[in-house]
Homo-oligomer: A and B are copies of this chain.
């Protein structure tokens, strides 16, 4: 008969219990209920034929043997974690447009780093096509304007709500109340989304209105900054304007309307099960929803 396999999960539960001096605390650390921990410890005691913990009213104390075992186990688990962490993982790289990066991601990234101090996020500022392997991209935030590569895991984030934005004083000065009033405004555009104003006019039901960009910026984020500086009206997705609106740098006199595009997460298929990838994805999804 072969030597019995070590009951690894039970050993982990016991180690945490001995270290924390409490089954409930160990259960919290392991993300299970106290009952599960209690069972694991009893299973070990039965298997070894001796008691590992002295039960006390408000806590548990390892017996001498239990303490020695716990210390061995602690070292062993540390060693495992060390080995796993040494696995030279390719860095976690998030690709998104400069606009999203500046107006949504970077201001919120501190929160992710606070919750996940051990995860390092590299940014890749880009939009459009992605080569996950060549550029070592783990996750990309992309608009549905672009086609995802084959095999990529896609998680829809949100439909882009779009609307005109400008500086609050600018809006007040022009007295905007209906879309037609925009004829009085200076219309700002961007080279990367030449159809932006046309798309908006269509979704709000004024396809007849003609608003042509009187000034065109090379980059979307320059456009946003121009609008925030009071230089005119920009057509912007809510997600990139929301912070500026909250700070009072921008207003959206006509609100936002669901636009023709949506934002998605593209996840490198070979990395989709990696824990840091999963954590980043979960965080982006949650924070995107929270800020929409």
Q: Which of A84-92, A98-106, A159-167 contacts B (4 or more CB under 8 A)?
A: A84-92
Select A80's contact among B68, B76, B275, beta carbons within 8 Å.
B76
Residues of chain B lying within 8 A (CB to CB) of residue A12: 5-6, 8
A16 → B minimal CB distance (Å): 10
Partner-contacting stretch, out of A45-53, A204-212, A235-243, A253-261? A45-53
Residues of B within 8 A of A75 (CB): 76, 79
Contact partners of A47 in chain B: CB under 8 A: 273-275
Give the contacts of A40-95 with B (CB-CB under 8 A). Answer: 43, 46-50, 65, 68-69, 71-73, 75-77, 79-84, 86-90
Give the bracket for the number of chain A residues in contact with chain B: 35 or more
For the complex, is A233 an interface residue (Cβ under 8 Å from B)?
no
A145 at the interface (CB under 8 A from B): no
**In this complex, which of A46, A72, A75, A272 has the most chain B Cβ atoms within 10 angstroms of its Cβ?**
A72
Stretch at the interface among A150-158, A171-179, A215-223, A277-285: A277-285
**Majority SS at the chain A contact face:** helix
A8 touches B8 (CB 8 A): yes
Q: How far does the alpha carbon of A87 sit from the alpha carbon of B47 in the complex, in Å?
A: 11
Q: Which of B9, B30, B79, B270 contacts A49 (CB 8 A)?
A: B270
Nearest CB on B from A101, distance (A): 22
Nearest Cβ on chain B to A7's Cβ, whole angstroms: 10
In the assembled complex, how far is the CB of residue A13 from the closest CB belonging to chain B, in whole angstroms? 11
Interface check A118, CB cutoff 8 A:
yes
CA of A75 to CA of B83, assembled, Å: 10
Partner of A82, one of B5, B65, B72, B115: B72
Residue of B nearest to A51 (CB): B270
- Chain A to chain B contacts (Cβ below 8 Å), 27 pairs: A1-B282, A2-B31, A4-B275, A5-B31, A6-B12, A6-B80, A6-B84, A8-B8, A8-B9, A9-B9, A11-B80, A11-B84, A49-B90, A49-B273, A49-B274, A50-B87, A50-B88, A68-B86, A69-B84, A72-B79, A72-B80, A72-B82, A72-B86, A73-B80, A75-B76, A76-B79, A79-B79
Residues of A participating in the B interface, judged by any CB pair closer than 8 Å: 1-6, 8-9, 11-12, 30-31, 43, 46-50, 65, 68-69, 71-73, 75-77, 79-84, 86-90, 115-116, 118, 270-275, 277, 279, 282-283
Chain A to chain B: the 8 pairs with minimum beta-carbon distance, closest first: A72-B83, A46-B273, A49-B274, A8-B8, A76-B79, A49-B271, A76-B76, A4-B275
